Amino acid sequence: MKRFLERAIDLERTHRVGLFVDGPNVLREEFDVDLDDVRAAGERFGTLAITRLYLDEHATPGLIQAGEARGFEVVITSGDVDVRLAIDATELVCEGTFETLVIVSRDTDFKPVVELAGRRGVETVAVAPGLHGRSDALANAANEAVTLGE
Residue 29, pLDDT score: 85
- Which structural domain, as residue segments, surrounds residue 47? 15-147
Residue of 108, 113, 116 lying closest to 134 (CA atoms): 108
End-to-end CA distance of the chain: 37
Give the residues across from 38 on adjacent strands: none
Q: In this structure, is residue 1 part of a structural domain? A: no
Q: In this structure, is residue 2 part of a structural domain? A: no
Residue 123, pLDDT score: 98
Number of separate domains in the chain: 1
Q: By three-state DSSP, how is residue 124 classified?
A: strand
What is the C-alpha separation between 138 and 125, in angstroms, rounded?
Answer: 9
Q: In this structure, is residue 137 part of a structural domain? A: yes
pLDDT values of the chain reduced to their tens digit, one per residue, 150 residues? 555 445 455 545 579 999 999 999 999 888 889 999 999 999 999 999 999 999 999 999 999 999 999 999 999 999 899 999 999 999 999 999 999 999 999 999 999 999 999 999 999 999 999 767 788 999 999 999 999 976
Residue type for 90, please? T
Q: In this structure, is residue 102 part of a structural domain? A: yes
Q: In this structure, is residue 47 part of a structural domain? A: yes
Q: In this structure, is residue 64 part of a structural domain? A: yes
Residue type for 21, please? V
Residue 14, pLDDT score: 78
pTM over 0.75, yes/no: yes
CA-to-CA separations, 145 to 68, 112, 124, 125, in angstroms, rounded: 26, 16, 9, 6
Q: In this structure, is residue 3 part of a structural domain? A: no
Q: Please say whether the beta carbons of 16 and 100 come within 8 A.
A: yes
What is the C-alpha separation between 5 and 55, in angstroms, rounded?
Answer: 42
Instruction: Classify residue 61 by burial, with Cβ atoms within 10 Å: 0-12, 13-18, 19+.
Output: exposed
Residue 132, pLDDT score: 74
Q: In this structure, is residue 9 part of a structural domain? A: no
Check which CATH number belongs to the domain holding 60 and give it: 3.40.50.1010
